[in-house]
Amino acid sequence: MILRVAIIGFGNVGQEFARLLLSKRDWLLKKKGLDVEVLAIATRSRGSLISKNAIDLGNVLERLKDGGTLTDFGPETTKEMPIGIIQKCDADLMIELTTLNIENGKPAIEHIKAAIDCGMDVITANKGPIAFAYHELRDMARSRGVHLRFEGTVMDGTPIFNLVEKTLPGCEILGLEGILNSTSNFVLDQMSGGRSMKEAVAEAQRKGIAEADPSLDIDGWDAAAKITALANVLMGADTTPRAVDRKGVGEITVADVEVANAQGKKIKLIASAGWEDGKVKLKVEPLRIGSEHPFWSVDGTSSALTLKTDLMGDLTIFERGPGITQTAYAVFSDLLLTVESIRNGTL
């Protein structure tokens, strides 16, 4: 089977996904009978490509090294905007990897709608669309008979959505609690070693884990978008990150961290979802936790999520020290699950 793909947004995650496609090419052909051809790539400021035939990903990655562009790639270079690229290319599946817009999730939501309108399956690692418009996008995809997957929106490729969907049938999610923002967790950890917040944020940026605008991490917006996406999908909420009762780590000082440590506590940015007066209530707040807490050892860039369920009690899943490969794997695993569903004729 040949799967033709358009990638909209081609920063760190998109480029790592392209590397993964190249390194797994033989495995995909041999084990899965799958040939993935990329027919379009859209970047925000470094040029875009659209082609009738598979684009040479090795060449694309080489050109983008050291700040290079795709503006003189050859006849494939296009000045089309993402929506035009989606509408004009012959892809079967669109992968949305543009950056988070915390105001309203656009234009990623529009990219996804355009792809669904064209009858494409969709994978996104962008939290915005699932945090702002999950129900609308899900209903659109269902009525058009296409797939929509989004594992990479929370905790990279760690199975959360797929875990619940595939392995917990009939189990109701009653609540959620997680350390979902790696940057804040890393910064708090560094501050407990005496480093200033500014230095720690700069280090998180060097590691490539901070958002393009790191205030989205520090002010709790990234965690708010993630807990909203989780609650919308797993608890049937229909809300947006703007409704989250949100406090980030921006006002925490090295002295606060030191006092907590001296008292045998750690400060962690915790996102939670639970039912209150018949409504799902979402919170993001720095909390002091003790060594009895399941998140005590979640340090550095690690994350964790507890699913509070009716039939299985509390289930906690940890992701230890993720890097960009784990985020790209989310897209890769969603792609394989989409292909499996296409082959089985299921949605």
Q: What does each C-alpha distance from 134 to 107, 241, 338 come to in angstroms?
A: 14, 12, 18
Owner of token pair 């797939």: 147
Cα–Cα distance between 331 and 187 in angstroms, integer?
27
Q: Which of 226, 266, 268, 283 is catalytic?
A: 226
Comparing CB distances to ligand HSE, the nearer of 92 and 222 is 222
- Among 15, 101, 124, 183, indicate the residue that binds ligand HSE (CB under 6 A): 183
Instruction: Determine the Cα–Cα distance for residues 163 and 151; give it in Å rounded to an integer.
Output: 10
| Options 6-14, 162-170, 171-179, 205-213: segment touching ligand HSE (CB under 6 A) | 205-213
Residue at shortest CB range from ligand HSE: 183
Closest to 23 (Cα-Cα) out of 13, 36, 10: 36
Give the number of other CB atoms < 10 A from CB of residue 309: 17
Q: Does 209 bind ligand HSE (CB under 6 A)?
A: yes
CA distance 33 to 11: 28
Of the pair 73, 221, the CB lying nearest ligand HSE is at 221
> Residue from 158, 182, 240, 338 that binds ligand HSE (CB under 6 A)?
182
User: Interface with ligand HSE includes 190 (CB under 6 A)?
Assistant: no
Number of residues that bind ligand HSE (CB under 6 A): 8
Q: Give the nearest distance from C-beta 312 to ligand HSE in angstroms.
A: 26
Structural element, H or E, at residue 216: helix 215-218
Residues numbered 152 to 181 that lie near ligand HSE (CB under 6 A) are 181
What DSSP string runs through 52-115?
A: SS---HHHHHHHHGGG--STTSSTTEE---HHHHHHHS--SEEEE-PPP-TTT-TTHHHHHHHH
Stretch that binds ligand HSE, among 132-140, 210-218, 231-239, 275-283 (CB under 6 A): 210-218
In this complex, which beta carbon is closest to ligand HSE, that of residue 4 or of residue 266? Answer: 266
Q: Catalytic residue at 308?
A: no
Nearest to ligand HSE of 209, 231 (CB atom): 209
For residue 253, the minimal CB distance to ligand HSE (Å) is: 21
| CA distances in angstroms from 17 to 21, 28, 238, listed in the order given | 6, 14, 31
Nearer to ligand HSE, 177 or 211 (CB): 211
- Residue number with CB closer to ligand HSE (76 or 219): 219
Nearest to 96 by CA among 141, 34, 162, 160: 141
* Greatest extent of the chain over all pairs of C-alpha atoms, in Å: 64
Alpha-carbon gap, residue 71 to 313, rounded angstroms: 54
Q: Which of 210, 231, 307, 328 binds ligand HSE (CB under 6 A)?
A: 210
- Contact string 212-241 vs ligand HSE (x = CB under 6 A): -----x----x-------------------
Residues near ligand HSE (CB under 6 A) are: 181-183, 209-211, 217, 222
- The residues assigned a catalytic role are 226
